[in-house]
């Protein structure tokens, strides 16, 4: 085919003239209406964010020993090995080699119950949250369900918190507008909007279908709220599918109806009951199905059946083809993961299977087989060889600061006071970020020079009086206030 270049140029020129003429016309009534609709949506998003923000918290999980970087490097050099690699993803709010994590959470009970993701808080040595108005609450209890990646946190001394409203996630449809409210990268009260891309997105390692949406999801968003335009939570932000580590438009959230069931079991039992049928399947392609049975359009081929499993006891055999499950015909679009997702404890499930060209009805009765739970445990054995004095009131191990240590730990040349060499996991000091490698330069209004002076000040401290520490480290000097609670056996 030949192209007439002159005709193409003339056509483009005519198109440009028409475009200029159109753009010169006054804005139409329809355009004003579009702007008004966009403004209405903006106002609605703003209203939802303002209403729900008090029920959203930022979650912090601390793991392992608290050390400054120079102290950590010194310890590694002394022991001749690197620390065990962490299984947790660092966030921008944590040092590069830190196993600490930061996420988001939603208040589900005004008396201090918070919902978040299990991967944010599991195996943490200490967990605390910050509310939208800046209050800080420590966790008195953390219960995790790693299978669903959900966890609940009980906040100590919390009351009259604003709880979120939960929606019915089954009412969601593709194209519905949603709003995300979370703390990505520790940026509190971050709001984003998008639409539902899928309400039944199955991904590896998830026992339930997730809500796919394109509202921004980044590190630190996990545990945050996915909201409808009524300000109700339709899902808990789980994470995102990405090949770069940054958001690429595929956010995932656990449907709130699933969350309700898991949360109820965690609060009542401390774990989630789960069942498994005990068989593995593979969807048949049309050609595979026709080869096994000419009139069969689709099916699930049973690849294996576990001995003594509910499926085995019901009579399911390797080589069977499942054609119907709980009244639903297996088609090419049927997702086999939905079978285990619908596995309810002590419930009979019906299926039709094709065996030797005959259709057989089977009933599988599920019984509770196992449960998963993970509540953090806090090891508490101070290494007595790492300090000269142990302050049990504040959970601090102290040693004498020497000129060589000042140089080795990259401390200010004029650093003075006891050197912190250990911080107990269950202490207020640990939760406030005090770390080994820091130096206590002042307590309240008094300059500290040595351990003996520190001990005298702590001994004379009035019960319940807070401590204001001026700490020196390789990062400079900063203040930390500790609420002291005199422990039994402490003078």
* Catalytic center residues: 119, 149, 222
Alpha carbon separation from 476 to 98, 312, 410, 441, 450 (Å, rounded): 20, 66, 10, 12, 20
- What is the distance between the alpha carbons of residues 446 and 442, in angstroms, rounded to a whole number? 5
User: Please, are residues 433 and 100 in contact by the beta-carbon 8 Å criterion?
Assistant: no
DSSP state of 153: E
Distance of CA 192 to the CA centre of its chain: 17
Alpha carbon separation from 315 to 307, 329, 346, 363 (Å, rounded): 11, 20, 18, 9
- What is residue 212's three-state secondary structure? strand
Nearest to 206 by CA among 117, 326, 269: 117
Q: Which is it for the CA torsion 20, 24, 25, 29, positive or negative?
A: positive
User: Please, are residues 482 and 465 in contact by the beta-carbon 8 Å criterion?
Assistant: no
Give the position of tokens 């970087």.
69
How many CB atoms lie under 10 A from the CB of residue 412? Answer: 14
**DSSP conformation letters of 384-424:** GGG-SEEETTTTEEEE---HHHHHHTT--TT--SPEEEEE-
What is the β-pairing status of strands 232-240 and 279-283? unpaired
Alpha carbon separation from 284 to 204, 291, 296, 316, 415 (Å, rounded): 20, 10, 10, 18, 72
Residue 439 pairs in a beta bridge with 419, 472
């Amino acid at each position: 085919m030949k192209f007439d270049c002159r005709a193409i140029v003339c056509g483009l020129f005519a198109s440009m003239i028409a475009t200029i003429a159109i753009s010169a016309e006054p804005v139409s009534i329809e355009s004003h209406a579009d702007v008004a609709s966009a403004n209405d949506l903006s106002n609605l998003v703003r209203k939802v964010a303002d209403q729900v923000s008090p029920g959203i918290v930022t979650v912090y999980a601390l793991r392992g020993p608290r050390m400054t970087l120079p102290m950590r490097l010194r310890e590694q050099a002394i022991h001749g090995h690197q620390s065990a690699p962490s299984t947790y993803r660092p966030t921008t709010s944590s040092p590069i080699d830190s196993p600490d994590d930061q996420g988001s959470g939603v208040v589900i009970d005004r008396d201090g119950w918070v919902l978040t993701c299990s991967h944010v808080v599991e195996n943490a040595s200490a967990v605390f949250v910050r509310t939208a108005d800046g209050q800080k609450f420590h966790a008195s209890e953390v219960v995790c369900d790693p299978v669903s990646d959900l966890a609940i946190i009980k906040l100590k001394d919390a009351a009259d918190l604003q709880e979120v409203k939960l929606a019915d996630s089954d009412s969601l449809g593709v194209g519905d507008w949603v709003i995300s409210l979370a703390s990505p990268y520790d940026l509190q009260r971050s709001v984003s909007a998008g639409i539902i891309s899928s309400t039944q997105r199955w991904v590896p390692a998830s026992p339930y279908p997730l809500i796919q949406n394109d509202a921004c999801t980044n590190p630190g968003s996990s545990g945050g709220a996915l909201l409808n335009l009524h300000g109700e939570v339709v899902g808990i932000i789980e994470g995102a599918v990405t090949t770069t580590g940054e958001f690429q438009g595929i956010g995932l959230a656990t449907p709130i109806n699933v969350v309700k069931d898991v949360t109820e079991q965690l609060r009542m039992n401390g774990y989630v009951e789960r069942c498994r049928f005990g068989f593995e399947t593979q969807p048949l392609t049309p050609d595979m199905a026709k080869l096994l049975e000419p009139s069969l359009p689709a099916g699930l081929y049973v690849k294996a059946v576990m001995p003594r499993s509910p499926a085995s006891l019901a009579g399911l055999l390797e080589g069977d083809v499942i054609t119907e499950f709980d009244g639903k015909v297996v088609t090419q679009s049927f997702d086999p993961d939905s079978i285990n997702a619908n596995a309810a404890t002590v419930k009979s499930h019906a299926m039709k299977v094709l065996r030797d060209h005959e259709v057989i009805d089977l009933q599988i009765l599920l019984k509770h087989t196992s449960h998963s739970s993970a509540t953090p445990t806090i090891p508490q054995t101070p290494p007595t060889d790492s300090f000269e004095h142990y302050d049990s009131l504040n959970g601090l191990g102290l040693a004498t600061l020497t000129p060589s240590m000042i140089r080795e730990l990259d401390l200010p040349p004029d650093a003075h006071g006891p050197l912190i060499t250990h911080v107990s996991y269950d202490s207020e000091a640990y939760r406030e970020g005090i770390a080994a490698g820091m130096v206590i330069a002042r307590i309240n209004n008094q300059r500290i020079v040595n351990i003996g002076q520190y001990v005298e000040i702590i001994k004379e401290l009035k019960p319940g009086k807070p401590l204001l520490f001026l700490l020196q480290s390789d990062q400079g000097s900063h203040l930390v206030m500790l609420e002291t609670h005199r422990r039994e056996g402490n003078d």
